[in-house]
Structure 1
């Protein structure tokens, strides 16, 4: 069975059985009909995935790998905050008439900062350090910029990546590990989507920096299941997990900025049916 399925099932059961409810409290999100969107939540969920063993895609339902990679590259590679540069419609609710989501996500990635080596944006700084200072304990990104929050149409949920390089015995290559910090997550709508995105990012950065992939650690401050999602989650985690797919990344790509969603494939990816018409709280 897929290890990602086990992690997901255990997390969801823990939230439903041991989580706390926000019902009746003052909450910001609303359903389309205007009623408050309450949640069952757990604080401080930490999930670990060894990317050297298998790719963490759910088989309980399909994760659209090309769409989630497209969104990840929209932020990390195109460094865009405009939905017209994105092939899916997941950000439409937060975009203005020109397609902008404000000074959020990709906008923060393209801002150049002064370092002693010169001006670089956060992505270029990560790649520079992985290639030149791999044992640095300062290789990280952060898009939760307080001075710009008032100009963001949505505050960043997945807001920080920290990269850490290790050396295994008898290995001729360094190993790239990463921690994703997320302040909040809608478990049904976004959990495996984010996991797959940042697993792919680690694979891509490892390849262009001539490293191997290691561990991906996902830290979620507020992992929640919305009230209207609970029956869907219960049906989902009752399914029998299937074997994990094999991950393929185009080995010919040596520059991070040359990757496209077509350079990523999940081979032998068998899944249960998709859950459709998931209501999204805004």
Structure 2
């Protein structure tokens, strides 16, 4: 919250209050300030913002939508998750030069890149089974078979596909890091951390979603690889506060953070494609009341 306070107190007159550069550090040192996914005293922690009520159901459904490789915003909208409606509207697609697509077809965005990187995108209704590189499956395989690999990377940034996307990826790339047990305790579980690089960070609306989403992804992958979720580290490129979010964030900064909730799974899941929203349970989420902020499209 300190970084948000710094941003707000700088220039309230600009659309983006201030750009905050960060210095990326090497992944293996994990030197940035971490957010707990779990620790010996906080096992199962989910860093879901508590200074305002965060739309957990939207975070969960969106992540599973990514995981399943979907690029159709209408699949979320029919569940009451409207966060992609603006970018999937016919008007917005026309502005992006993508008016030939049907409404809701976002192009080869996150889910397509995670599961079919390099495949030729036609539309959101096509079957891409077996096409492209399934990066997410590869990450899971490497964590199981070669946990010290320094290339356990999931990338949504495909320069060739950027012109085809309704919105280029903001959270660009994450790297999974497996902490091996110390020699003194070889029977201890392996721990899994995730380092995320985000090129563009809307601190008012986007970042609370992104933090919880990648923490959840770390929990999902840890569950499948029999590792223990440990830390989420986020490095931001262009971090910004929109002018119409300033008053809301100032109100939010007056609130004291509460304990993070816990996350657990209701059943054993063996395959990433088998996860369903009802498998994930969040307990002890007692946030402050919601604070409304308008999404910039």
Matched residues in 2 for 1:254 and 1:178: separation?
A: 20
Unaligned runs of 5+ residues in structure 2 are 24-31, 91-101, 120-130
- TM-score, normalised to structure 1's length? 0.83
Residue 210 of structure 1 pairs with residue 226 of structure 2? yes
Residue of structure 2 equivalent to 1:226: 242
Structure 1 match to 2:144: 131
Shift of 1:189: 0.7
Equivalent in 111, 116, 122 of residue 111 of structure 1: 116
Name the structure 2 match of 1:258.
274
Q: Residue 50 of structure 2 contacts residue 288 of structure 2 at CA under 8 Å; is this kept in 1?
A: yes
The secondary structure found in structure 1 opposite 2:65 is: helix
Pair 22,155 (structure 1): closer, same or farther in 2 beyond 3 Å = farther
Identify the residue that residue 171 of structure 2 maps to in structure 1: 158
Aligned residue in 1 for 2:73: 83
Superposed CA offset, 1:130-182 (max 9, x none):
11111100000111111111111111000111011111332432111111110
CA distance in 2, matches of 1:148, 1:22: 35
Aligned residue pairs, count: 255
Give yes or no for contact 2:52–2:289 (8 Å, CA) kept in 1. yes
Q: Is the 8 A contact 1:185 1:224 kept in 2?
A: yes
Which of residues 210, 219, 222 is equivalent to 1:194? 210
1:22–1:138 distance in 2 versus 1, CA, 3 Å: farther
Check conservation: 1:177, 1:215, Cα contact below 8 A. yes
Q: Evaluate the alpha carbon distance shift between residue 21 and residue 132 of structure 1 in structure 2; reply closer, same or farther with a 3 A threshold.
A: farther
Aligned residue number for residue 124 of structure 2: none
Query: Residue 8 of structure 2 contacts residue 17 of structure 2 at CA under 8 Å; is this kept in 1?
Result: no
Q: Structure 1 pair 200/126, CA: closer, same or farther in 2 (3 Å)? A: same
Contact 1:40–1:226, Cα closer than 8 Å, also in 2: no
Q: Which runs of 5+ in 1 are unaligned?
A: 1-8, 24-36
Deviates more, 1:84-93 or 1:47-56: 47-56
What residue number does 2:64 align with?
A: 73
* 1:32 corresponds to: none
Q: Name the stretch that deviates more: 163-172 or 145-154.
A: 163-172
**Which segments of structure 1 move beyond 6 Å, counting only runs of 4 or more?**
none
Q: What SS class does the counterpart of residue 184 from structure 1 fall into? A: strand
